[in-house]
Amino acid sequence: MLIQQTINGLALGAVYALIALGYTMVYGILQLINFAHGEVYMLGAYLAIIVLGALTAIGLPEVSMILTLVITIAVAMLFCGAYGAMIERVAYRPLRNAPKLAPLISAVGMSILLQNFIMLAQGKDYKNWPPMLSAEGLTVAGARVSAVELLILFTSVILMVALQVFVSRSRLGKAMRATSQDMTMAGLVGVNVNQVISVTFIIGSSLAAVAGVLVTLYYGVVHFFMGYTAGLKAFTAAVLGGIGSIPGAMAGGFLLGLIENFGASYISSAYKDAFTFLVLIITLILRPAGLFGQRSIDKV
Amino acid sequence: MKRFLQSAITLFGAMFLIVASGCTSSDKNSIRIGAAGPMTGDQSKMGIDLRNAVELAAAEWNEKGGVLGKKIEVIAGDDQADPKQAVSIANKYVNQKVAGVVGHWNSSCSIPASEYYNKANIVMISPASTNPRLTQQGFRNVFRVCGTDDQQGGVAAAFVLNTLKPKRVAVIHDKSTYGQGLADYFKKSVESKVEVVYYDGIIQRDADYKAVLTTIKEKKPDAYFFGGVYPEAARLVRQAKEVGLTAPMITGDGVYDPTFIKIAGSAAEGTYVTFGKDTAGLSTAKQFNERYTAKYGEPGPYSIYAYDAANILLSSIRDTGTTDGAKLADHISKTAFKGAFGEISFDKNGDVTVAPYVVWKVQNGKFVEAH
């Protein structure tokens, strides 16, 4: 039971962590909480249904399941990355030198816009996707790990390692870190700040897209409002880990998934969401910088 | 003083104009009835099924020349399955002076809305709200054409005890008036004979129920009961399969809809659902099905109930010759109606005198009566 709940919690937490990375990266550079980020995740989930539908129509899943999943994830990352870059270009860049509250409100507006856009374009009802991968998977010490759960853990760990390597080793990653330390100075020493910010949004949004695809495969239910709760929870994960810190977002995501699952199973499932926000409040009171953060959090 | 009078007259004149225009904007020669339920959101199918059925009934009356020489106009009200929205719809209906309301769908909406209809002396007939409290408020103008959750919970419990014969059961609900009420009646009916190993609520609209399902699995129940509606039920059975919980789910009329099977896929197989008796054999029901299908496609589980509710309301207006709520309520409570669903008469609370719940089972992607 303990092991099973840990696996459930890690799978859920991996999804939170992937979304939380987008929050934390954008905050690290712009000190902006991108409230439209949850909607990008929702877009990723819708894209999964659309792409999977198209691929199933041509019969690809029967030929190669792995290829189907790779194409779906790639297309969702591409589209959501473009959405992320567009959101930054349209809603945040014009307000870069405005008071901090202005881009924040712009972010909330963007979130409402995207939600309503999807509601009008795709309808208000739940969209469903039948289970594609077998419900049976491995049995580890009496606990079941389904194929989808393995996929979620595997994909998210790979992406997180890749991101960590990219940020710490690559030239662009270095530019990213420089920009997050001091945007003006980075610009003065020749870093193309606008490009760095665009790349940050593209990476964050494509990670959210992957989370969206994985959740569609996991639960099979997609709804235009799903980005709201998931966004809030991922934001909590980012704060728990220390907003602005990439390893913090990863740890925060997994930790939150575990807290939710243990709370729901050992205390009461009726208060599952309450545990998340209790964590948010406790973190903000006792350790506002989060587990891995150094800077203090600006008031939102 | 003169100026004051002048401005007062102008003001009154302006007000009169506004009031008058408000009156003329709608047809004076029509009788308005409300059709209220969730028409957007995840339970939207139920509200739309309800509205279609009421519109079908109204269209049939209008073809025959309407009621009391007036056309019938259906005003749809979308309560989004939200009690707050339901109250605002109720207020709208009161202001529009509807002759009666068919609705609402959710018990959590019907109960607060019924207070407003009662105050405004408007007849309300719910086709689907099964929580017993709705008709226990002492409101003479509130009726329902479906059964109640104590009856339903009793039927489910009897079936579980006599047919499934479990030793241990788990009970969960969606924390709504309907879901929790039904789960509590079920629990009360089985408690003395089997061990209830788990009882808790779950969050509506949540995507992940694995934590609670894993906990339930650990308690090794032979069956589990869910009080709630189909979107949650579908996610529950689907995830139950994934965590390896093999005990069957027993649930109520809120899950009786093909959408449940569509979302859950093969995981829905073997789920037991309490619902009204099969109407396939009734000629009146067949007629209704044909007409409804021609106009809107396949009827939903509660379409026929809404259709009967609308007909009860309209035939009572015809028979009493008035749209006065008190007189209509009096007539409805005393009369035996011939509905598409069979004979319907009401007891002193406004509940149907016969509520035949039976147990259905999902088999090969369809609901079939379980024996």
Return left, alpha or beta for B205; rule: phi > 0 is left, psi -120 to 50 is alpha, else beta. left
> Which pLDDT belongs to residue B12?
53
Residues 6+ apart with CB under 8 A from B172: A269, B183, B198, B199, B200, B201, B202, B212, B216, B224, B225, B226, B227, B228, B236
Q: Which of B242, B243, B259, B260 to mutate to test the interface with A (most CBs of A within 10 A)?
A: B242
How many structural domains does chain A have? 1
A293 is a domain residue: no
% of chain A at pLDDT higher than 70? 97
- CB contact B203 to A (< 8 Å): yes
Query: Could you tell me the pLDDT band of residue A297, with boundaries at 50, 70 and 90?
Result: very low
Query: Could you tell me the pLDDT band of residue A130, with boundaries at 50, 70 and 90?
Result: confident
For residues B369 and B360, the answer to whether their CB atoms sit within 8 Å is: yes
A28 is a domain residue: yes
Domains and CATH numbers, chain B: 30-146+280-355 (3.40.50.2300), 150-277+358-369 (3.40.50.2300)
> Which pLDDT belongs to residue B9?
57
SS3 A133: coil
Please state, in angstroms and rounded to a whole number, the distance separating the CA atoms of residues A82 and A95. 20
Nearest residue in B to A131, CA atom: B265
A265 is a domain residue: yes
- CB contact A170 to B (< 8 Å): no
N- to C-terminal Cα separation, chain B: 85
DSSP letters, B86-150, are HHHHHHHHHHTT-SEEE--SSHHHHHHHHHHHHHTT-EEEESS---GGGGSS--TTEEESS--HH
A248 is a domain residue: yes
For B18, list phi and psi in degrees, rounded to 5: -60, -45
Please state, in angstroms and rounded to a whole number, the distance separating the CA atoms of residues B132 and B142. 12
pLDDT at residue A142 above 90?
A: no
N- to C-terminal Cα separation, chain A: 39
Closest-CA residue to B51 (of B313, B302, B291, B342): B302
Q: Do B214 and A131 touch (CB under 8 A)?
A: no
How do residues B81-102 score in pLDDT, each as one tens digit? 999 999 999 999 999 999 999 9
Q: How far is A220 from chain B (nearest CA, A)?
A: 8
Q: How far is B265 from chain A (nearest CA, A)?
A: 7
**pLDDT, chain B, mean:** 90
> Which pLDDT belongs to residue B1?
53
pLDDT at residue B357 above 60?
A: yes
> Which pLDDT belongs to residue B25?
43
How do residues B318-332 score in pLDDT, each as one tens digit? 999 999 999 999 999
- CB contact A217 to B (< 8 Å): no
For B123, list phi and psi in degrees, rounded to 5: -75, 135
Q: Do B239 and A219 touch (CB under 8 A)?
A: yes
- CB contact A219 to B (< 8 Å): yes
A269 is a domain residue: yes
% of chain B at pLDDT higher than 70? 92
**Residue B14, CA distances (Å) to A113, B1, B3, B26, B278 in order:** 39, 20, 16, 19, 58
Query: Could you tell me the pLDDT band of residue B11, with boundaries at 50, 70 and 90?
Result: low
For B323, list phi and psi in degrees, rounded to 5: -110, 15
A262 is a domain residue: yes
> Which pLDDT belongs to residue B8?
58
Q: How far is A197 from chain B (nearest CA, A)?
A: 32
Mean pLDDT, residues A193-221: 95
Mean pLDDT, residues B60-78: 94
Nearest residue in A to B231, CA atom: A126
Chain B residues with CB-CB distance to A148 below 8 A: 242
SS3 B33: strand
Q: At what angle do helices B230-243 and A193-219 cross, to 10 degrees?
A: 90
Least confident of A224-233, B143-152, B280-289: B280-289
A300 is a domain residue: no
For residues B123 and B329, the answer to whether their CB atoms sit within 8 Å is: yes
> Which pLDDT belongs to residue B48?
94
pLDDT at residue A140 above 90?
A: no
> Which pLDDT belongs to residue A299?
40
CATH at A82: 1.10.3470
How do residues A213-255 score in pLDDT, each as one tens digit? 999 999 888 988 899 999 999 999 999 999 989 999 999 999 9
Is the N-terminal amide bond of B331 cis, ω within 30° of 0?
Answer: no
> Which pLDDT belongs to residue B244?
87
How do residues A48-98 score in pLDDT, each as one tens digit? 999 999 999 999 988 999 999 999 999 999 999 999 999 999 999 999 989
Domain of A51, in residue numbers: 2-286
Chain A residues with CB-CB distance to B179 below 8 A: none
Please state, in angstroms and rounded to a whole number, the distance separating the CA atoms of residues B53 and B368. 24
Question: Which residues 69-108 of B have a C-beta within 8 angstroms of A?
Answer: none
Query: Could you tell me the pLDDT band of residue B22, with boundaries at 50, 70 and 90?
Result: very low
> Which pLDDT belongs to residue B207?
87
Element holding B20 (H helix, E strand)? helix B2-24
Instruction: Tell which wins on pLDDT, B329 or B282.
Output: B329
pLDDT at residue A136 above 90?
A: no
Mean pLDDT, residues B48-67: 95
- CB contact A88 to B (< 8 Å): no
For residues A76 and A47, the answer to whether their CB atoms sit within 8 Å is: yes
Element holding B369 (H helix, E strand)? strand B366-369
Chain A residues with CB-CB distance to B231 below 8 A: 126, 221
> Which pLDDT belongs to residue B186?
96
> Which pLDDT belongs to residue B315?
95
Query: Could you tell me the pLDDT band of residue A293, with boundaries at 50, 70 and 90?
Result: confident
A282 is a domain residue: yes
For residues B212 and A269, the answer to whether their CB atoms sit within 8 Å is: yes
